[in-house]
């Protein structure tokens, strides 16, 4: 077979046809025979023999060419062709456009070898990324072959005369050989690593100002199903790319995943309905027959990760059940987005048969190899020891600055910013202040610590102190927050002191102190007027205050400080307390005026202000615990006053975030005995106050943020609508509406029928359902989704309840809560707001009253409030009480720190008001 000179006769064809069956094709999960889609005869490999002894070596030769032409890489020995079918196309036979499904593990493409047999027509048309290629395979006396990746759309045009005879093979890959891998990697390594480092720099910079995505996405060239989404099944160039990325990422500690993305475009579909087109990037959904070219106006266009998998075993890493739902893809993270976008979707191409969906990407790096930066970096390393390199470095930086594109362009380009930073550093290294100034014109992100180290040395060595000081000030301006400025200045100071030697004139030191005091003062001023002080900035301000005479400081900075957020103020107070504390340790009896100044300041800090504010500005549970402890230790307020304020503040909390970020962690601190005011007493007993605090906080959390369970809807039926003539489409929709259980109805139909349904069912504004047209199947689907307020409420309640249960459970795991919660334990632990309400109507707000009426200690019940090693408490048959006694004795309350704290002259400071009103 297949040798030239052999003539394939009608007789041969009939012999084949007598044994053959009609070729089927896959559509979704089904396998169909439909001669309007595919018309050809096929034999299984078991039904025929290839007797030509050279055949195997012929196939191997072809395979070698396939390997090269498809750019496979990874070792030719790892790619094989598995015979799949013998196909015979007689006159009128064809195969409509389709993609091949992956029929065996590792299959990545198809090879067809067209055997010599005279025929007309039967051209093979391949389409990929908008590129089309038509091939006329084989003739009477010669054979030829074609191969493609599984995601290439292809069709066989009708045979107009004669017979077209082909053998189809599955192209399968086993593994990549390690040698091949390292060869390929070696060629790209430098660039990859440099690029990743740049991204790293950009991430660094982002911590301060520049916005840079959390991850990078490297789009892959081929499409993958969820099943084939794993490293060893990647196709073509994708495999090599991902393996290189994997190596580079491994070296630098980045994680690499594979992901399917789904883009959802909602358009106005011209029928006054929102129409949703779903497709994976790069996939080609068959557009509707009748109106495919009229895309309506885009209403929204979003991309989500649909499936994120580990490289090696393809297991899913994203959380399908996540409360957040689908993870939105950050468009900025997408590398080479334009070429990517142009892949999507092509309505001229038709598929629908055995189509894969979704597109795949690797989280990756930005592919901008800026060699120049690694060059600079290398020179910088050498320059430390080599003066000529230093000069070269300066020259290079200057050359780059001279040659750079005009200012303003690209000013947000992170790589450019990073380069300018490097130039600034190099300038300091070579002590070229002019070069430094030029670079600084473009530096908008904070200079790294290294710069300040260099400033310190420079300051010690220079003869022009003024000039260096000016540059330090301009460098500090790049740091946005007080804390960063302060830390940077400390660096300068430290390196200055390390560098000046003993016989340097003391003048220089005096001058430096003067400079740093003045600079600190300016920085503090700026920070306070800017009004954006975070927690760490509050703490830094306290450090700065520690360098001053406190009274002066208070006069100058206190009013501005009081206008800052509560978290900043609390951090300031807590740090100041700490400073005072250590001053006491160091000097023993310290000047009581210092303490009282500190107290006065702290007192002023407790201004009315809401508790909320998150992340860096957040007053978290520990801050609150510290604040209370410090207040208590320094007798800035009495216990009762502090507790009273706290209780009323808690009553006014109105957002769940404050509960989650502040109060629950605070409760945890109480349970862990970190809050002195709420500790066990010396007999290991709980105080009624702590019982009250813990119980009422948790109760109010559950009552306010979970709430009572809304009724779940049991009946989804709705009123019927539809046309008067009671057409069958309207009747079908009405049956759906009447159904008490169906929530979503899907009706595949042509545009005119959809229009009719739309007219009949969307004519009322207060309908309780939404209508969408799904475009990703043929014909399009008119989809109706019922709404039910009760159901929506119920779902969101359930989410809140589950969330709260998780949080309360986490507390309970840290420390058993029963002894605090007493009778309320079950209701609270199950986050059951209804039961809490019921218990409270029967017993009244028992804990609060008990606390007020009975100032005695509540004996420990059930379990210990102290964390215990799991091995003791879990599964132990000992009675809970045995543990408790032992534990209670061990955990006797330590002598109150207030016993040996400094007594303050005068009265206690009053009022800690954290509330708003």
Ligand X SMILES: O=C(O)CCC(=O)C(=O)O
Interacting residue ranges for ligand X, rule: CB under 6 A = 87, 95, 100, 112, 124, 154, 156, 166, 168
Which residue carries 């041969």 as its tokens?
A: 12
The CB-of-93 to ligand X minimum distance in angstroms stands at 9
Least Å from the CB of residue 124 to ligand X: 5
Cα–Cα distances in Å, from 309 out to 305, 361, 462? 11, 11, 57
Nearest residue to ligand X by CB is 112
The residue whose two tokens read 């543990």 is 883
Q: How far lies 226's CA from each of 229, 233, 307, in Å?
A: 5, 11, 7
Inter-residue contact 310 to 304 (CB < 8 Å):
no
* Nearest distance in Å: CB 98, Fe ion: 6
Which of 121, 538 has the CB closer to ligand X? 121
Containing 42, the helix (H) or strand (E) segment is: strand 41-43
- For residue 22, the surrounding DSSP H or E stretch is strand 21-22
Q: Which is nearer to ligand X, 37 or 804 (CB)?
A: 37
- Count of beta carbons in the 10 Å neighbourhood of residue 180: 18
What separation in angstroms does the CA of 565 have from each of 553, 556, 604, 623? Answer: 19, 18, 13, 13
- Residue among 62 and 166 whose Cβ is closer to ligand X: 166
Q: How far, CA to CA in Å, does 643 sit from each of 257, 624, 676, 678, 836?
A: 50, 12, 12, 10, 23
Pairing of strands 38-39, 94-98: antiparallel
The CB-of-138 to ligand X minimum distance in angstroms stands at: 10
- Helix, strand or coil, per DSSP, at residue 85: strand
Nearer of residues 128 and 453 to Fe ion, judged by Cβ: 128
Q: Which does 93 bind (CB under 5 to 8 A by kind): ligand X, Fe ion, none?
A: none
Q: Which does 489 bind (CB under 5 to 8 A by kind): Fe ion, ligand X, none?
A: none
Q: How far apart are CA 349 and CA 479, in angstroms?
A: 54
Smallest gap, in angstroms, from Cβ of residue 66 to Fe ion?
A: 16
Cβ-based neighbours of 876, under 8 Å, separated by 6 or more: 883
Site of tokens 């909602």: 266
Read off the tokens for 129.
């990324």
Pairing of β 274-280 and β 769-774: parallel
Minimal distance in Å, beta carbon 19 to ligand X? 18
3-state secondary structure of 37: coil
CB of 78 to Fe ion, least distance (A): 23
State whether residue 483 is helix, strand or coil.
helix
Residue written as token pair 């053998």: 167
Measured from the CB atom, the residue of 95 and 254 that comes closer to ligand X is 95
Q: How far apart are CA 806 and CA 800, in angstroms?
A: 10
Q: Contact residues for Fe ion (CB under 5 A)? A: 100
Q: Residue 493 binds which entry of Fe ion, ligand X, none, with Cβ cut-offs from 5 to 8 Å by kind? A: none
Instruction: Single out the residue of 242, 234, 107, 250 nearest to residue 184, CA to CA.
Output: 242
Q: How far is CA 153 from CA 79, 128, 130, 822, in A?
A: 22, 6, 10, 69
- Between 137 and 850, whose beta carbon lies closer to ligand X? 137
Q: Tell me whether residue 30 or residue 764 sits nearer to ligand X (CB atom).
A: 30
Backbone phi and psi for residue 71, each to the nearest 5 degrees, phi listed first: 60, 45
536 Cα distance to chain centroid: 25
Which of the listed partners (ligand X, Fe ion, none) does 124 bind, with a CB threshold of 5 to 8 Å by partner kind?
A: ligand X
**Strand 30-32 relative to strand 25-27, pairing:** antiparallel
Cβ distance to ligand X smaller for residue 124 or 664: 124
Nearest-CA neighbor of 678 among 649, 887, 687? Answer: 687
Instruction: Give the whole-angstrom CA distance, residue 482 versus residue 490.
Output: 12
* C-beta nearest to Fe ion: residue: 100
CB of 154 to Fe ion, least distance (A): 6
Least Å from the CB of residue 38 to Fe ion: 9
Rounded to whole angstroms, the Cα distance separating 565 from 575 reads 16
Residue 42 or 887 with smaller CB distance to Fe ion: 42
**Least distance (Å) between residue 156 CB and ligand X:** 5
Q: Closer CB to ligand X, residue 87 or residue 680?
A: 87
Minimum CB distance to ligand X, residue 100 (Å): 5
Beta carbon of residue 7, minimum distance to ligand X (angstroms, whole number): 21
Question: Residue 527 binds what, of Fe ion, ligand X, none (CB under 5 to 8 Å, by partner type)?
Answer: none
For residue 156, the partner it binds in Fe ion, ligand X, none, with Cβ less than 5 to 8 A by kind, is: ligand X
Q: What is the Cα–Cα distance from 567 to 610, expressed in whole angstroms?
A: 10
Show the beta-strand stretches assigned E in 44-200: 79-89, 94-98, 107-115, 119-121, 124-128, 131-135, 144-149, 153-156, 159-162, 164-173
**Closest CB to ligand X among 109 and 236?**
109
How far apart are CB 135 and ligand X at their closest, in Å?
9
Q: Which is nearer to ligand X, 166 or 850 (CB)?
A: 166
Indicate which of ligand X, Fe ion, none lies near residue 860 (CB less than 5 to 8 Å, by partner kind): none
Neighbours of 293 (CB within 10 A): 8
Q: Which is nearer to ligand X, 115 or 698 (CB)?
A: 115
The option from ligand X, Fe ion, none interacting with 166 (CB < 5 to 8 A, set by class) reads ligand X
Under 8 Å between Cβ of 256 and 311 = yes
Name the token pair of 44. 């299984």
Give the nearer residue to ligand X in terms of CB position, either 169 or 436: 169
Q: In the complex, what is the shortest distance from the CB of residue 351 to ligand X, in angstroms, rounded to a whole number?
A: 12
Give the residue with the Cβ less far from Fe ion, 98 or 438: 98
CB 229, min distance to ligand X, A: 22
Taking the C-alpha atoms of residue 111 and residue 85, their distance in angstroms, rounded to an integer, is 11
In the list Fe ion, ligand X, none, the entry touching 661 (Cβ below 5 to 8 angstroms by class) is: none
Which of Fe ion, ligand X, none does residue 168 bind (CB under 5 to 8 Å by kind)? ligand X
């Amino acid at each position: 077979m297949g040798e030239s000179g052999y003539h394939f006769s009608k007789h041969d064809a009939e012999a084949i046809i007598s044994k053959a069956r009609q070729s089927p094709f896959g559509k979704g999960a089904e396998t169909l025979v439909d001669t309007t889609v595919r018309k050809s005869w096929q034999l299984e490999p078991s039904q025929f023999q290839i007797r030509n002894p050279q055949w195997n070596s012929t196939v191997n030769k072809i395979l070698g060419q396939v390997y090269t032409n498809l750019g496979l890489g990874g070792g030719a020995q790892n790619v094989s062709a598995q015979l799949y079918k013998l196909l015979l196309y007689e006159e009128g036979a064809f195969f409509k456009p389709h993609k091949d499904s992956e029929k065996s593990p590792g299959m990545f493409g198809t090879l067809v070898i067209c055997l010599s047999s005279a025929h007309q027509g039967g051209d093979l048309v391949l389409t990929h990324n908008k590129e089309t290629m038509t091939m006329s395979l084989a003739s009477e006396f010669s054979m030829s072959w074609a191969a493609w990746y599984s995601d290439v759309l292809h069709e066989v045009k009708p045979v107009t005369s004669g017979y077209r005879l082909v053998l189809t093979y599955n192209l399968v890959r086993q593994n990549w050989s390690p040698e091949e891998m390292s060869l390929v990697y070696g060629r790209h390594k430098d660039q990859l690593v440099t690029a990743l480092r740049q991204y790293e720099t950009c991430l660094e910079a982002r911590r301060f100002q520049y916005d840079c995505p959390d991850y990078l996405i490297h789009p892959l060239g081929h499409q993958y199903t969820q099943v084939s989404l794993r490293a060893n099944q990647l196709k073509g160039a994708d495999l090599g790319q991902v393996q290189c990325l994997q190596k580079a990422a491994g070296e630098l500690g980045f994680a690499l995943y594979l992901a399917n993305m789904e883009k959802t475009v909602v358009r106005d579909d011209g029928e006054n309905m929102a129409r949703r087109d779903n497709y994976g990037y790069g996939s080609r959904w068959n557009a509707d027959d009748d109106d495919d070219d009229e895309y309506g106006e885009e209403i929204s266009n979003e991309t989500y990760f649909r499936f994120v998998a580990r490289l090696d075993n393809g297991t899913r890493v994203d959380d399908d059940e996540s409360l957040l739902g689908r993870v939105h893809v950050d468009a900025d993270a997408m590398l080479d987005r334009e070429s990517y976008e142009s892949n999507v979707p092509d309505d001229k191409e038709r598929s629908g048969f055995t189509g894969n969906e979704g597109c795949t990407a690797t989280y990756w790096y930005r592919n901008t190899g800026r060699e120049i930066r690694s060059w600079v970096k290398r020179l910088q390393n050498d320059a430390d020891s080599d003066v000529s390199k230093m000069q070269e470095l300066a020259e290079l930086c200057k050359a780059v600055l001279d040659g750079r594109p005009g200012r303003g362009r690209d000013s947000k380009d992170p790589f450019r910013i990073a380069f300018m930073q490097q130039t600034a550093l190099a300038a300091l290294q070579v002590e070229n202040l002019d070069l430094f100034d030029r670079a600084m014109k473009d530096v908008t992100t904070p200079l790294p610590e290294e710069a300040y180290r260099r400033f310190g040395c420079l300051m010690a060595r220079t003869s022009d102190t003024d000039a260096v000081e000016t540059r330090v000030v301009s460098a500090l301006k790049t740091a946005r927050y007080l804390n960063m400025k302060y830390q940077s200045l400390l660096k300068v100071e430290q390196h200055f002191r390390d560098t000046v030697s003993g016989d340097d004139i003391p003048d220089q030191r005096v001058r430096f102190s003067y400079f740093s005091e003045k600079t600190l003062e300016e920085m503090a001023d700026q920070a306070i007027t800017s009004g954006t002080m975070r927690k760490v900035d509050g703490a830094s301000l306290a450090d700065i205050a520690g360098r001053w005479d406190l009274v002066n400081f208070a006069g100058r900075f206190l009013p501005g400080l009081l206008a800052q957020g509560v978290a900043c103020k609390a951090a300031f107070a807590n740090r100041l307390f700490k400073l005072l504390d250590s001053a006491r340790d160091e000097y023993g009896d310290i000047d009581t005026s210092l303490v009282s100044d500190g107290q006065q300041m702290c007192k002023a800090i407790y201004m009315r202000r809401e508790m909320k504010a998150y992340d860096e500005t957040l007053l978290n549970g520990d801050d609150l615990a510290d604040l209370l402890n410090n207040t208590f230790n320094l007798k800035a307020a009495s216990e009762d006053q502090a507790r009273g304020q706290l209780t009323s503040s808690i009553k006014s909390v109105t957002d769940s975030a404050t509960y989650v970020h502040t109060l629950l962690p605070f409760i945890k601190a109480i349970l862990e005995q970190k809050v002195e005011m709420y500790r066990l007493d010396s007999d290991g007993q709980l105080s009624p106050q702590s019982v009250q605090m813990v119980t009422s906080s948790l109760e109010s959390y559950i009552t306010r943020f979970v709430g009572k369970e809304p009724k779940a809807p049991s009946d989804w039926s709705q009123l019927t609508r539809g046309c008067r003539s009671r057409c069958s489409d309207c009747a079908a929709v009405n049956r759906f509406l009447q159904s008490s259980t169906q929530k979503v109805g899907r009706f595949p139909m042509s545009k005119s029928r959809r229009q009719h349904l739309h007219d009949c069912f969307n004519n009322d504004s207060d309908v309780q359902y939404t209508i969408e047209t799904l475009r990703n199947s043929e014909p399009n689907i008119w989809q109706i989704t019922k709404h039910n307020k009760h159901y929506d409420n119920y779902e969101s309640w359930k989410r809140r309840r589950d969330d709260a249960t998780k949080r309360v459970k986490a507390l309970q795991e840290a420390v058993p809560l029963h002894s605090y919660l007493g009778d309320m334990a079950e209701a609270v632990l199950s986050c059951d707001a209804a039961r809490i309400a019921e218990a409270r109507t029967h017993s009244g707000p028992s804990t609060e009253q008990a606390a007020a009426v009975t100032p005695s200690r509540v004996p420990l019940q059930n379990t210990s409030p102290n964390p215990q090693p799991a091995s003791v408490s879990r599964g132990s048959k000992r009675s809970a009480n045995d543990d408790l006694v032992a534990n209670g004795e061990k955990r006797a309350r330590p002598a109150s720190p207030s016993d040996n704290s400094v007594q303050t002259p005068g009265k206690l400071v009053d009022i800690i008001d954290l509330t708003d009103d």
